[in-house]
Structure 1
Amino acid sequence: MRRAAVAVAAGAMAVSLAACGSAKESKSSSDNSSSSSASKGDNIKVGLLLPENKTARYEKFDRPLIEKKIKELTNGKATVQYNNARQDANLQAQQVDTMITNKVDVLILDAVDAKAIQNSVQKAKDAGIKVVAYDRLAEGPISAYTSFDNEQVGKTQGEALLKALGSKATKSTKIVMVNGSVTDPNAAQFKKGAHSVLDGKVTIAKEYDTKEWSPDNANSEMEAAISAVGKDKIAGVYSANDGMAGGIITALNAAGLKVPVTGQDAELAGVQRIVAGEQYMSVYKPYAPEADAAAEMAVALAQGKSLDSVAKDTVSSNSQKDVPSVLVPVTSLTKDNIKDTVIKDGVYTVADICTGKYKSACDKLGIK
């Protein structure tokens, strides 16, 4: 995945003198900034901005995990200022302004719209606040980034769908693709990864880029696809995440159609649908390593420390090259490995998953 100097000279001596003065001022400013950061020690102020609350993960996992790790790293002395943008890019821009006004030392940012947030990231930098892009690669002068290998997520989904189709996976087999929002750069990477696996193996009869990752929109798109393609001709559905998979499966059920459907995020409802045989798979993304990496990078940046011991990778966006990064691997979650993933890692308990109508299905799978 993803620098410019402008010099204006009136005369050689003027440039030389200006450069000397500028270099001294710059070094002094930089030294003061580092000294200031280092002198803060554990008494730092971290801003945390998450993008939306329709997807269960952000409030249930990401926020508490990040806040917990920051407290651990700073002996409980750091403060975390939090806001959720509720899928509103303009609101998130205002939230960045508030964080700047409140003089946070570092900002962890999961962008609603990765491109639209660029000016806000620049504002933060101009105010001396370094930005850790979280989960989505925000445009602008970010200092660090952590996420998952997003193309691999799409490949994992595509491979799982082909496996579910088995011998039915031929070039004439028709599937529907329901991708994520165009404002989320991760969605484009999921889509690219999935296409790299599915193209030439099956026919993509209908494909949608779903606004705001909305389950309701996904439901409407699936209804439209069933009408356009014909329910007896749809062999499977690529859904980019679990929330949309829920809307898709509702539409499929209404049409009396049962086909394999993919997902992502291992949301509780998605895991329960997998147990019940309604959804074929999800992508399990262990949030703790991602959250821990964000917290570690944020604390290090706020304290003026190097990221070398944390960030082993680099990525580039359209506006920033070689950003220190942590990329976390993912797992295909099916009914066969629920115990070895989300239950073993403590994401959910058996009691969480095997409620009411799901208990008998859990029993059959040996989830007890």
Structure 2
Amino acid sequence: MTIRTLTRLASLTALVLGSTALYAQTIAPAKVAFLMPDQSSTRYEEHDSPGFKAEMKKLCAACEVLYQNADGDASRQQQQFNAMISQGVKAIVLDPVDSTAAASLVKQAQAKGIKVVAYDRPIPAAKADYYVSFNNEGIGKAIADSLVARLKAAGVKPGEGGVLQVNGSPTDAAAGLIKKGIHAGLDNSGYKILAEYDTPDWVPAKAQQWVSGQIARFGKQIVGVVAANDGTGGGAIAAFKAAGVNPVPPVSGNDATIAALQLIIAGDQYNTISKPSEIVAAAAAQVVVKLLAGETPKAEMMLYDTPSQLFTPAVVVADNLKAEIIDKSVSGKPIQTAAVLCVDRYADGCKKLGITK
């Protein structure tokens, strides 16, 4: 993702949603819930929540953001959702643990006049007031295309082996979109999908256990792994290392977590997706402000009959990690710093990539 692209994304947000500054002055003090799904990825605590709170503070200083994380438990998220309604929130930004179960939550809130913004993961069975996310299907295709290109560049012929496909949670509609995108990248690539797995609740340990079984089953036939996020990708890498496989075949990821970026620096993970969560968090805050002001935010598309805005992220590999992660900034802050990434055993890898503290 170039600086020009990031600038375009920010401009597109303003263009699509309109100026929220004018509406912020007319909004009465309100409570807004920000409900995230799990802690298997560090992004929610480190990026999404701070990004949403910062944008809401700019747009509606009198608004109070109530943040909760369900830690992968759909029942807990329902309890948190009900608690937010009891506390009198006027809008709920919901990233669902279970996209199907969340449909009843959307309808419950809307029946009480509460606005619901679906965030990151869509809610297909209910029409939320808006949906904000990165393009999940595009992410799946991008990581698969990138890994296929890596195999071809390395001279790995399709008939010489196949790949494993490690998908996300079967209860997550966004994981379904990523899965669809991965298939779009792999199905006509010539490389056979040896086996495929939907990882319950995105738990890395479950992905690791499954990949371990496939290593025992297929051995050297495995020439790569397309994993739907950095957690499942990290689980796959751990399985190869535990099995004594060296070098580890190319493994994909998604989220650009610190751990994944360090694995790329070390040469253990092939790619990830840089999708600064602050971008979608800010967009969600702008949508909320418009909804609270009684306005209807414009949408660039309809997805599952819901007005939607989707952003396009960037694929990161070792060769462009410095340019995409270290040298880029969002909201005036670097996406990530060398001081954080280039520690201990990763210092030598950073030097090879031209990354210095």
With the shorter chain as reference, the TM-score category is 0.7 to 0.9
Amino acid at match of 2:312: P
Amino acid at match of 1:342: I
Q: Which runs of 5+ in 1 are unaligned?
A: 1-36
- Whether 1:211 aligns to 2:200 is yes
Does the 8 A contact of 2:322 with 2:353 survive in 1? no
Matches within 5 A, 1:1-368: 41-74=27-60, 76-138=61-123, 139-166=125-152, 167-171=155-159, 173-200=161-188, 201-229=190-218, 231-257=219-245, 258-308=248-298, 311-316=299-304, 321=305, 323-343=306-326, 344-345=328-329, 346-368=334-356
Q: CA deviation at 1:286?
A: 2.1
Q: CA deviation at 1:214?
A: 0.7
Q: CA deviation at 1:349?
A: 0.7
Distance 2:84 2:26 in 1: 18
Distance 1:66 1:180 in 2: 24
Distance 1:110 1:303 in 2: 22
Distance 2:121 2:141 in 1: 18
Does the 8 A contact of 1:112 with 1:183 survive in 2? yes
Does the 8 A contact of 2:24 with 2:59 survive in 1? no
Distance 1:39 1:249 in 2: 51
Does the 8 A contact of 2:144 with 2:186 survive in 1? yes
Distance 1:312 1:179 in 2: 28
Distance 1:341 1:324 in 2: 30
Distance 1:304 1:181 in 2: 35
Distance 1:280 1:183 in 2: 27
Distance 1:190 1:109 in 2: 19
Distance 1:38 1:348 in 2: 31
Determine the structure 2 residue equivalent to 1:22.
Answer: none
Q: Deviations over 1:203-261 (max 9, x none)?
A: 111111111111100110111001111x2211111111111111111110122222000
Question: When the two structures are superposed, what TM-score results if normalisation uses the length of structure 2?
Answer: 0.87
- CA distance 1:324–1:79, shift in 2 (3 Å): same
Determine the structure 2 residue equivalent to 1:27.
Answer: none
Amino acid at match of 1:112: V
Distance 2:159 2:177 in 1: 23
Q: CA deviation at 1:338?
A: 1.5
Does the 8 A contact of 1:125 with 1:141 survive in 2? no
Q: CA deviation at 1:39?
A: 9.5
Matched residue SS, 2:307: strand
Larger radius of gyration: 1
Does the 8 A contact of 1:38 with 1:304 survive in 2? no
Distance 1:228 1:42 in 2: 61
Does the 8 A contact of 1:109 with 1:134 survive in 2? yes
Q: CA deviation at 1:38?
A: 9.4
Q: Deviations over 1:118-164 (max 9, x none)?
A: 11111100010010000000232310000111111011111111111
Distance 1:72 1:313 in 2: 27
Distance 1:262 1:81 in 2: 34
Runs of 4 or more, structure 1, over 2 Å off, are 37-40, 311-314
- CA distance 1:169–1:294, shift in 2 (3 Å): farther
Q: Over aligned residue pairs, what C-alpha RMSD do you find?
A: 1.6
Aligned identity (percent) is 38
Determine the structure 1 residue equivalent to 2:18.
Answer: none
User: How many correspondences in the alignment?
Assistant: 323
Amino acid at match of 1:145: Y
